[in-house]
Amino acid sequence: MNPYVGCSHGCRYCQARGSEHMRKTQIDLPSSGLVLEACLDLPAVSGPFPGVVLCHPHPLYGGNMNNNVILAISRALTGNGIASLRFNFRGVGRSQGCFANGVGEQEDAEAALLLLSNREEIDPSRIGIMGYSFGGMVALAVGDTNNVVRAIAAVSPVIPADVLKQCAKPKLIVTGAEDNIITPSSVLKETAGMAEPKIVEVIAGVDHFWWGYEARVGEMVADFFARVLAIR
C-alpha cells in the first residue's frame, strides 16, 4: 500500500467522528488552463465560514486529496466550524496536466485560494492554507506571499529556503519526532529563522505518515485555525 494514498475501504479513518457533520461538494477547479478535481467540505450549519485550502503530499509518490492526514484535518476543521477545500494537484486523480516540480502546484494552490475566497459560503476575510509533506512546501511558499491568506499551517513539511522570514501571519509547523524522511532537526533548523508569530511542535512517537495519530494532528491544526481565524 502506498503510504500517501488515502483509504477508500471504510476503515476507521474514513469513518472518523465528525464526518456526519460535514457537507461535501465536488468542484471543478480551474488552474492555468487546466481543470483540477476538488472537494469543498462544509460544516453542516449555516455560514458564511472561515475556510482553509489543504495541499496533499507528493503527486509522484501517491499523494492525493484523500490522504489520511488531509482527510483527518478536513474533518477536524468542519467539526470546528471551518470549511476546507481539498484538491488534487495537476496530474493526480481526475485533475488534468502533469507534475510540474512544485511550480505549477503553487499555481494550483493559488487557484484554490481564489476559488475558495469567492464562494458564497465562505468569509473571504478569514482564509488559511495548510499542507502536508510536499504539500507543506507548497502551502508555506504560497502562504508567504498570497494576500488572501491570513494563517498558515504545515504538517511534516518540506521547507523552502528562506521562506516566511518576513511574514507576520500566524504559523503552525507540526512534525513527528520519529520522522526519518523530513527529520525533526531539519524542521527545527529551517523554522528557527521564520518570523513570529509561530508555533513549532515535535510530536513524540510519530513518523512521517502519522498512522494512528490522525485525530491528534487534525485537532491540533483545527484548534490553530479556530483560534487565529477567530472562531473562538
Ordered by start, the domain boundaries in the chain are: 20-228
Asked if 134 contacts 58 with a C-beta cutoff of 8 angstroms, the reply is: yes
- pLDDT the model gives residue 46: 85
Neighbours of 10 (CB within 10 A): 8
In angstroms, the CA 152 to CA 40 distance is 19
In the 3-class helix/strand/coil scheme, how is 107-176 assigned residue by residue? HHHHHHHHHHHHCCCEEEEEEEEEEECHHHHHHHHHHHHCCCEEEEEEECCCCCCCCCCCCCCCEEEEEE
What pTM was estimated for this model as a whole? 0.92
Q: How confident is the model at residue 22 (pLDDT cuts 50, 70, 90)?
A: confident
Give me the pLDDT at residue 7, please: 45
Starting at the earlier edge strand, list the strands of the sheet with 49-55.
Answer: 22-31, 34-43, 83-87, 49-55, 122-132, 149-155, 171-176, 198-203
Nearest of 199, 213, 23 to residue 119 by alpha carbon? 23
Say whether pLDDT at 9 is over 70.
Answer: no
CA distance 165 to 20: 40
Residue 35 clears pLDDT 50, i.e. is over it: yes
| pLDDT of 16 | 40
Distance CA 71, CA 41 (A): 10
CA 189, CA 29: separation in Å to the nearest integer?
Answer: 35
Residue range 120-179, pLDDT digits in tens: 999 999 999 999 999 999 999 999 999 999 999 999 999 999 999 999 999 999 999 999
Which helix (H) or strand (E) element contains residue 59? none
Residue 230: its pLDDT value, please? Answer: 78
User: pLDDT tens digit string along 48-107?
Assistant: 999 999 999 999 999 999 999 999 999 999 999 999 999 999 999 999 999 999 999 999
Confidence of residue 12 (pLDDT cuts 50, 70, 90): very low
**In residues, how long is the chain?**
232
Q: What is the CATH number of domain 20-228?
A: 3.40.50.1820
Task: Say what the pLDDT of residue 13 is.
Answer: 38
pLDDT of residue 25: 93
| pLDDT, position 21 | 66
Rounded CA-CA distance 66/70 in Å is: 6
